[in-house]
Amino acid sequence: MKALYLETAGGPESVAVREVETPTPKAGEVRVAIKAASLNHRELWIPRGQYPGMVLPATLGCDGAGVVDMLGDGVTGAKVGDEVVLYPGLNWGPSRRTPSKEFGLLGMPGPGTIAEYICVPVENLAPKPSFMSFEEAAAVPLTGLTSWRSLMYKGELQPGETVLIIGIGGGVATWGLAFAVAHGANVYVTGENDQVIENAIKMGAKAGLNFNEPDWRKKVMPMTGGVDVVIDGAPSPSFANYVRSINPGARIVIYGSTAGNEFKVNATDIFLRSATVLGSQVGDPQDFRDMLAFVDKHKIKTVIERTFPLAEAKEALLYLQDKHQFGKVVVTI
């Protein structure tokens, strides 16, 4: 079969679409003929060698949707022909609060989704929402799940509350916007330019601030009236700009470190507001089911920026690196 393959960590330019052995499902696994996969930042970090527990060579990708085409021994609850979307994690473990030490994602160290076939435990299958194309469904898993858990499980967002979403052009952030609007929250955003803020307003945000404007911190309170939940994948430049505009009892959920790893916290900003700062990592299988049920109920559509055929998967990765602006980059197979 063909797959997006990485032999040595020589940067995103070193990936290639090539022939690899077609997998056969082990006991308890199913084989899925992938119809579409989507890209995330980790598919840029892995070729740069910036990913824990690297095992090379590798096939890349953790997001995928397709059709079950072969069952391993002992599999129940799935049949050949099922249209599915894949839970992107493996070995979450028994606790809802935190993943086990063995937790990982498809596509490192194990095989990835940007391939004609992948074998996964049957528990990783969820029905593809019927109103979605394979491309739309493939754009859901990692960013949708990360966003859902940050906003709903960790952030405990309630209808009528005010949420601030940082860096609205990103995959996690755009899902957060869609979820929060459908949940009945008042949604405000920051973005890198006026165009992404306009896009967000079209999706239901009330207003936004350009984070490249030097004084945006002064505008957060007048714009929002006070924030109950923040989801932030870039706290290094952003945290200090909104923390004085949070309401008592606010939940600030950090899910990424785009634009820098360190940020300064003023203790009084947190304890005098009884605020909570939380970290959030992907999501468990229950979050995945809850999120898909919500997506199905509200018929939430994925924002796809561009699709590429598998033969151009390397170009898709370079597009994510150099040109990506708003929504997901998808590879069709």
Ligand X SMILES: NC(=O)c1ccc[n+]([C@@H]2O[C@H](COP(=O)([O-])OP(=O)(O)OC[C@H]3O[C@@H](n4cnc5c(N)ncnc54)[C@H](OP(=O)(O)O)[C@@H]3O)[C@@H](O)[C@H]2O)c1
Pick the binder of ligand X from 229, 234, 303, 316 (CB under 6 A): 234
Site string for ligand X, 258-277 (x = CB under 6 A): xx------------------
Is residue 12 a contact partner of residue 317, using CB atoms and an 8 Å limit?
yes
Nearest-angstrom CA–CA distance, 92 and 11: 29
Tokens of 124: 């990783």
Q: How far is the CB of 326 from ligand X (least distance, A)?
A: 7
Which part of the chain contacts ligand X (CB under 6 A), choosing from 2-10, 65-73, 160-168, 213-221? 160-168
Nearer to ligand X, 281 or 307 (CB): 281
Q: Where are the beta strands (DSSP E) in the chain?
A: 2-6, 16-19, 29-38, 58-59, 63-71, 83-86, 89-90, 104-105, 117-121, 125-127, 162-165, 186-191, 207-210, 227-232, 246-254, 276-279, 304-309, 328-332
Nearer to ligand X, 32 or 166 (CB): 166
Tokens of 132: 């979605």
* DSSP structure class, residue 115: B
Q: How far is the CB of 200 from ligand X (least distance, A)?
A: 9
Question: Considering CB under 6 A, how many residues would be counted as binding ligand X?
Answer: 30
- What contacts 181, CB < 8 A, 6 or more positions away? 187, 203, 204, 205
Q: How far is the CB of 127 from ligand X (least distance, A)?
A: 23
Nearer to ligand X, 98 or 274 (CB): 98
Nearer to ligand X, 5 or 255 (CB): 255
Site string for ligand X, 107-146 (x = CB under 6 A): -----------------------------------xx--x
Q: How far is CA 156 from CA 21, 204, 252, in A?
A: 44, 20, 11
> Which residue shows structure tokens 């299988």?
285
Give the burial string for 7-19 (b: 16+ CB within 10 Å, else e). Answer: eebeebeebebee
Nearer to ligand X, 59 or 238 (CB): 238
Q: How far is the CB of 74 from ligand X (least distance, A)?
A: 31
> Which residue shows structure tokens 């008042």?
186
Q: What order do you get walking across the sheet with 276-279 strand by strand?
A: 207-210, 186-191, 162-165, 227-232, 246-254, 276-279
Q: How far is the CB of 206 from ligand X (least distance, A)?
A: 17
207 part of the interface to ligand X, by CB under 6 A: no
211 part of the interface to ligand X, by CB under 6 A: yes
Is residue 37 a contact partner of residue 107, using CB atoms and an 8 Å limit?
no
Question: Of residues 283-322, which lie at the interface with ligand X (CB under 6 A)?
Answer: none
Nearer to ligand X, 58 or 166 (CB): 166
241 part of the interface to ligand X, by CB under 6 A: no
Pick the binder of ligand X from 233, 250, 284, 304 (CB under 6 A): 233
Pick the binder of ligand X from 229, 282, 316, 333 (CB under 6 A): 282
- What contacts 297, CB < 8 A, 6 or more positions away? none
170 part of the interface to ligand X, by CB under 6 A: yes
224 part of the interface to ligand X, by CB under 6 A: no
Question: Of residues 34-73, which lie at the interface with ligand X (CB under 6 A)?
Answer: 40-41
Tokens of 26: 């082990």
Q: How far is the CB of 57 from ligand X (least distance, A)?
A: 23
Residues within the interface to ligand X (CB under 6 A): 40-41, 142-143, 146, 166-173, 191-192, 196, 211, 233-234, 237-238, 255-259, 280-282, 324
